[in-house]
């Protein structure tokens, strides 16, 4: 299934901002990432989805060389992350999953000066604009910041040096709806102003629907799909069907919880080319009453555990 | 394949400069506390001088304060850094090992400024209280023919001499602080729980010594006590680093008159001090380099 979808990515893209081959990470007996081959086209907004513990944050840490992979290779703009960790981090604006912005005794203003010293490309005018837009209180101590304040400061630090790659791990986590909307607008403006590739993980898929142009889904450490968003939404459809008595599901069609029995109407989310799926269903005796395209969130849920039958 | 123009990483000199600023800021609270202690000390010394008490002589080599400051300094330098986790420091675009060493170097710069400030304070206090700014003072010297362990001593055996430390000994506070700072920095970088090791190792030796004494295992007691003496009071021991042996060369003797006096067995030797300092600082640097290996890039 994912191979069919992956072809679209391989065929269309020649340059990847991020690519990994067989990236594997274990914590003791637990496999956090299992032979992940991630490919993020340059200039794209790649949304990496998955349930809690699927390995999303681990993947991001490996890309920044904050953790050591057990096997496999990761490259960011052609730089091997293990050999060029500092150079890779110089290209990345990173918002970590944890709400920990830095030194608790520093003020926001001092921390920003501190971070600016590490990025020669730091754009102070832009930073000042972001301070206003994100309502950062310069004189507040880091230790006294709320979860939302910390997240806004982390976003500012990630954006202000206009990095070629933004790696955002749950960037809107802890933000109230108003700020969340403002952050997403800022992010959209940033993408319009600066040539940036974005790798973003989130549980609020609907928020990034307008930004996302590629989607990857991790399940139990495995990358089950990575595909352009349109391709995903084109390939994952909801079918309303009438099933005849003693209906048998076609063997080559992945049907969530196929049932036999008396005639009944069902709604299933099925992955595959619409024409081919419809043909297979019709041949098997099912009557396709309606085919509906899905929003990104629902299409993505088809690849997450226990979300197939709806 | 072509990629966008990549951003350069920061220059190492800029990193060290920024770390000096950050460390200085991290140490602001303990620095204020230390300043308060110095102000209090100044008040007491000047009060004593006004009421006819003794003056403060400028004898920087006799003060163990810089060595102890150096010992504790890494705690402040690494304040808030999760050295073995995802510390904020490691997120920045600098090689982890170099970054760790840059932070240690920044801490050392702050330490030297602190020691210099302390010496200037001591010097000014000596001037204000009319003390001897060259550190000259009269001492009682124990002739080498006299066994210091003798129970009582004839006062006639003692020689009164005027001792003026070699000016090179004014470097002792800087080197002592550097030595202890490097050693504790190495422990801080190399192990997860540095305080446990710093307290635990000498405590274990003392415990072994006490056990040896309690269980009447003479060789164990002797071994522990020799080890402690070698490390602390030996010719190239920690006292040589801390005070050029100004402490361990002094001893208390009971005179035949029944009076107990502090006497010197010998004067501090520049050669011994230089060698001891080289050894301890060398050991500190080697330990630091080894410890920094634990902080290399993943």
String of DSSP letters for B87-143: -HHHHSSS-HHHHHHHHHHHHHHHHHHHHHHHHHHHHHHHHHTT--TT--EEEEE--
β-pairing verdict for B260-264 and B250-255: antiparallel
Answer yes or no: is pLDDT of B210 > 80: yes
pLDDT at A5: 45
Q: Which residues of B touch A73 (CB under 8 A)?
A: none
pTM: 0.86
Contact B94 A103 (CB under 8 A): no
Contact A65 B298 (CB under 8 A): yes
User: Do residues A154 and A178 lie in contact, with contact meaning Cβ atoms separated by under 8 Å?
Assistant: no
Q: For residue A45, what are its two tokens?
A: 């907004």
Instruction: List the beta strands (DSSP E) in A28-178.
Output: 30-36, 39-41, 45-50, 71-76, 79-80, 92-95, 165-169
User: Do residues A18 and A69 lie in contact, with contact meaning Cβ atoms separated by under 8 Å?
Assistant: no
pLDDT at B2: 65
Q: What is the mean pLDDT of chain B?
A: 89
Chain A interface includes B214 (CB < 8 A)? no
% of chain B beyond a pLDDT of 70:
97
β-pairing verdict for B137-141 and B159-163: antiparallel
Q: Which residues of A touch B295 (CB under 8 A)?
A: none
pLDDT at B211: 85
Residue-number span of the structural domain to which B279 is assigned: 12-295
Nearest-by-CA chain B residue for A103: B80
% of chain B beyond a pLDDT of 90:
47
Contact A87 B18 (CB under 8 A): no
Alpha carbon of B13: minimum distance to chain A alpha carbons (Å) = 11
Contact A90 B8 (CB under 8 A): yes
**Could you tell me which residues come within 8 angstroms of residue A180 by beta carbon, excluding any fewer than 6 positions away?**
A172, A204, A207
Q: pLDDT higher for B67 or B56?
A: B67
Q: Which residues of A touch B9 (CB under 8 A)?
A: 86-87, 89-90
Q: For residue A75, what are its two tokens?
A: 């490259």
pLDDT at B147: 63
Task: Report the pLDDT averaged over residues B94-120.
Answer: 96
CB atoms within 10 A of CB A286: 22
Q: Which of B6, B25, B88 is the closest to A164 by Cβ? A: B6
CA distance A308 to A257: 8
pLDDT at B69: 95
Listed in order, the ranges of chain A carrying CATH 3.10.20 are 235-301
Contact B4 A77 (CB under 8 A): yes
Does residue B118 fall inside a structural domain? Answer: yes
Task: Report the pLDDT averaged over residues B246-271.
Answer: 86
pLDDT at A4: 42
Does residue B146 fall inside a structural domain? Answer: yes
Q: Which of B9, B22, B26 is the closest to A90 by Cβ? A: B9
Contact A82 B298 (CB under 8 A): yes
Answer yes or no: is pLDDT of B203 > 70: yes
Question: What is the number of CB-based contacts under 8 A between chain A and chain B?
Answer: 104
Contact B4 A61 (CB under 8 A): no
Listed in order, the ranges of chain A carrying CATH 3.40.50.300 are 2-231
3-state secondary structure of B216: coil
pLDDT at B14: 96
Q: Which residues of B touch A41 (CB under 8 A)?
A: none
pLDDT at A7: 45
pLDDT at B1: 52
Integer angstrom CA distances of residue A140 from A105, A115, B215, B296: 10, 16, 60, 33
**Could you tell me which residues come within 8 angstroms of residue B265 by beta carbon, excluding any fewer than 6 positions away?**
B141, B142, B144, B148, B249, B250, B251
A2-231: CATH class: alpha beta
Answer yes or no: is pLDDT of B105 > 70: yes
Integer angstrom CA distances of residue B218 from B28, B203, B209, B234: 49, 19, 9, 21
3-state secondary structure of B85: coil
Q: Which residues of A touch B17 (CB under 8 A)?
A: 117
Q: For residue A172, what are its two tokens?
A: 């809107």
Chain A interface includes B80 (CB < 8 A)? yes
User: Do residues A276 and A252 lie in contact, with contact meaning Cβ atoms separated by under 8 Å?
Assistant: no
- Please list the pLDDT of chain A residue by residue as tens digits (310 residues): 444 444 444 544 559 999 999 999 999 999 999 999 999 999 999 999 999 999 999 999 999 999 999 999 999 999 999 999 999 999 999 999 988 888 999 999 999 999 999 999 999 999 999 999 999 999 999 999 999 999 999 999 999 999 999 999 999 998 999 999 999 999 999 999 988 999 999 988 888 988 999 999 999 999 999 999 999 989 999 999 988 888 888 877 777 655 545 557 888 889 888 999 999 999 988 999 999 999 998 898 888 866 443 3
Q: pLDDT higher for B79 or B61?
A: B79
Contact A90 B79 (CB under 8 A): no
Span A235-301 CATH architecture: Roll (3.10)
Integer angstrom CA distances of residue A13 from A10, A19, B39, B210, B221: 6, 12, 69, 73, 75
Angle at Cα A295 formed by Cα A293 and Cα A297, nearest 5°?
135
Nearest-by-CA chain A residue for B96: A86
> Count of domains in chain B?
1
Query: In this predicted model, what pLDDT tens digit does every residue of B138-165 receive, in sequence order?
Result: 888 887 766 656 567 888 888 888 888 8
Task: Report the pLDDT averaged over residues B222-235.
Answer: 84
pLDDT at A246: 80
Sheet of A287-293: strands edge to edge?
Answer: A264-271, A236-243, A287-293
Contact B91 A164 (CB under 8 A): no
Q: Which of A15, A64, A85 is the closest to B1 by Cβ? A: A15
Contact B95 A85 (CB under 8 A): yes
Alpha carbon of A115: minimum distance to chain B alpha carbons (Å) = 8
Contact B91 A15 (CB under 8 A): no
């Amino acid at each position: 299934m994912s191979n069919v979808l992956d072809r679209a990515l391989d065929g269309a893209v020649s340059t990847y901002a991020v690519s990994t081959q067989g990236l594997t990470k274990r914590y003791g007996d637990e496999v956090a990432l299992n032979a992940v081959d991630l490919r993020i086209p340059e200039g794209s907004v790649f949304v990496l989805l998955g349930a809690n513990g699927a390995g999303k944050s681990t993947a991001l840490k490996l890309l920044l060389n904050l953790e050591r992979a057990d096997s496999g290779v990761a490259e960011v703009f052609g730089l091997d992350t293990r050999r060029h960790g500092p150079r890779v981090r110089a290209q990345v604006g990173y918002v970590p999953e944890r709400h920990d912005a830095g030194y608790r005794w520093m003020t926001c203003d001092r921390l920003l000066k501190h971070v600016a010293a590490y990025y020669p490309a730091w754009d102070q005018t832009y930073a000042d604009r972001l301070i206003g837009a994100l309502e950062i209180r310069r004189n507040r101590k880091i230790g006294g910041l709320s979860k939302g304040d910390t997240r806004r400061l982390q976003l500012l630090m990630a954006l202000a040096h206009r990095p070629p790659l933004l790696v955002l791990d749950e960037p809107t986590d802890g933000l109230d709806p108003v700020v969340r909307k403002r952050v997403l607008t800022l992010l959209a403006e940033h993408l319009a102003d600066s040539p940036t590739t974005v790798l973003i993980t989130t549980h609020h898929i609907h928020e990034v629907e307008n930004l996302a142009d590629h989607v990857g889904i991790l399940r139990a450490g495995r990358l089950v799909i990575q595909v352009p968003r349109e391709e995903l939404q084109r390939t994952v459809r909801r079918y309303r069907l009438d099933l005849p008595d003693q209906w048998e599901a076609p063997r080559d069609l992945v049907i969530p919880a196929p049932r036999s029995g008396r005639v009944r109407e069902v709604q299933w989310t099925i992955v595959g080319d619409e024409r081919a799926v419809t043909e297979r269903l019709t041949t098997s005796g099912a009557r396709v009453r309606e085919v509906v395209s899905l929003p990104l969130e629902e299409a993505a849920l088809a690849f997450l555990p226990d979300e197939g039958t709806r | 394949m072509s990629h966008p123009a990549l951003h350069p990483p920061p220059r190492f000199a800029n990193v060290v400069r920024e770390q000096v600023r950050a460390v200085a800021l991290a140490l602001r609270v303990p620095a204020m506390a230390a300043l308060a202690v110095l102000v209090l000390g100044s008040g007491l010394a000047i009060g004593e001088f006004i009421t006819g008490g003794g003056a403060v002589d400028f004898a920087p080599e006799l003060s163990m304060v810089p060595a102890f400051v150096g010992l504790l300094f890494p705690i402040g330098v690494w304040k808030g850094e999760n050295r073995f986790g995802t510390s904020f420091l490691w997120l920045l675009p600098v090689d982890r090992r170099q970054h760790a060493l840059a932070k240690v170097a920044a801490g050392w710069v702050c330490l030297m400024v602190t020691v210099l400030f302390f010496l200037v304070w001591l010097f000014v206090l000596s001037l204000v209280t009319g003390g001897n700014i060259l550190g000259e003072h009269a001492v009682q010297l124990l002739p080498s023919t006299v066994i210091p362990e003798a129970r009582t001593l004839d006062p006639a055996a003692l020689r009164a001499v005027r001792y003026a430390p070699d000016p090179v000994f004014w470097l002792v506070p800087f080197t002592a602080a550097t030595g202890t700072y490097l050693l504790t920095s190495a422990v801080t970088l190399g192990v997860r729980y540095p305080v446990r090791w710093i307290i635990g190792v000498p405590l274990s030796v003392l415990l072994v010594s006490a056990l040896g004494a309690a269980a009447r295992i003479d060789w164990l007691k002797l071994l522990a006590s020799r080890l402690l003496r070698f490390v602390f009071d030996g010719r190239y021991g920690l006292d040589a680093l801390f005070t050029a042996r100004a402490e361990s060369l002094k001893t208390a003797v009971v005179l035949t008159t029944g009076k107990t006096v502090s006497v010197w067995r010998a004067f501090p030797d520049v050669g011994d001090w230089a060698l001891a300092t080289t050894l301890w600082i060398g050991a500190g640097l080697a330990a630091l380099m080894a410890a920094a290996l634990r902080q290399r890039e993943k």
